[in-house]
Structure formats: C-alpha cells, structure tokens
C-alpha cells in the first residue's frame, strides 16, 4: 500500500514542490493551505506522516503538532517540521510539542524522501 502524507504549508510553491518530490518517490500526498486546514483534513483519513510549516495563518505549526498529539485520531503519527526557521529554541519547542523531526527549507529532494521513508518504516 502507498504511504500517505499530509503536507501543510501556506506557500503554494512549497506545497507544489513537496507534492512533486514525494509523488515521484511513490508517496500519496494530500496538501493543506494552513494549520487549521491541515488539522481539519487530518480528521478525515489516516495519514502515515505529516509535514508542517511553522509560520502559517489561522494556526501555526506548533498548534498543528499540539492538536494532532492531543487528538484521538492517530496521535502517534510521525510529524516533520519543514520550515525556513533553524533556531534551536524553535526546534526544542517543536520537539517538546511532539514533532518527530525538523527539516530546513530549501530542502533536498532525496533528504526529504529518505527522512519520510525512515519515519514511516512499516507504514502503509
């Protein structure tokens, strides 16, 4: 079965890049335009992984991580943060909220695919 990924980012360009990269690697990708949209979509089906930006309107990435971890729907799903931010305090805050990993934009296609494969080992 195909590994399904929910990618949450307010940038249409990043959503397109992530979708193209992951679909080319065989992932099934669903995108959300902001944090609230992502949390709403997360309730609709079972995803094997979530990728979220930090700085977004309506709900930031920290809110996304917290909402998913506190929900009864698949709360142990791997969550990767994909952002331009690289500060250690932000990484620590994301990790404390329940993030699985952190990737800084711009991302390398192969690195993103490899990290996703590693955190979803056995998924799908």
CATH of the domain at 74: 3.40.50.2300
Residues paired with residue 32 on neighbouring β-strands, in sequence order: 8
Tell me the average pLDDT across 105-110.
94
Tell me the average pLDDT across 34-42.
98
Is pLDDT of 124 > 60? no
**Residue 94 lies inside a defined structural domain of this protein:** yes
Is pLDDT of 1 > 80? no
Whether residue 73 contacts residue 45, with contact meaning beta carbons closer than 8 Å, is answered with no
Phi, psi angle pair for 53, to nearest 5°: -80, 170
Supply the range of the domain harboring residue 96. Answer: 4-119
Is 4 or 72 the better-scoring residue by pLDDT? 4
**Residue 124 lies inside a defined structural domain of this protein:** no
**E strand map for the chain:** 4-8, 28-32, 49-52, 79-83, 101-104
Is pLDDT of 53 > 70? yes
Tell me the average pLDDT across 62-79.
95
Tell me the average pLDDT across 47-67.
97
Residue-level pLDDT at 123: 57
**Residue 64 lies inside a defined structural domain of this protein:** yes
Q: How many domains does the chain have?
A: 1
Please give the span between the terminal C-alpha atoms of the chain, in angstroms, as a whole number.
Answer: 5
Split at pLDDT 50, 70, 90, the class of 73 is: confident
């Amino acid at each position: 079965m195909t590994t399904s990924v929910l990618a949450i980012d307010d940038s249409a360009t990043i959503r397109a890049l992530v979708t193209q990269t992951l679909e080319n690697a065989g992932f099934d990708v669903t995108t959300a335009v902001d944090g609230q949209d992502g949390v709403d979509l997360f309730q609709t089906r079972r995803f094997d992984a979530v990728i979220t930006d930090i700085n977004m309107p309506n709900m930031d990435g920290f809110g996304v991580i917290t909402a998913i971890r506190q929900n009864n729907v698949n709360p142990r799903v791997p969550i990767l943060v994909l952002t331009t931010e690289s500060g250690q305090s932000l990484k620590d805050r994301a990790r404390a909220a329940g993030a699985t990993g952190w990737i800084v934009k711009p991302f390398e296609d192969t690195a993103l695919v490899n990290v996703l494969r590693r955190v979803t080992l056995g998924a799908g």
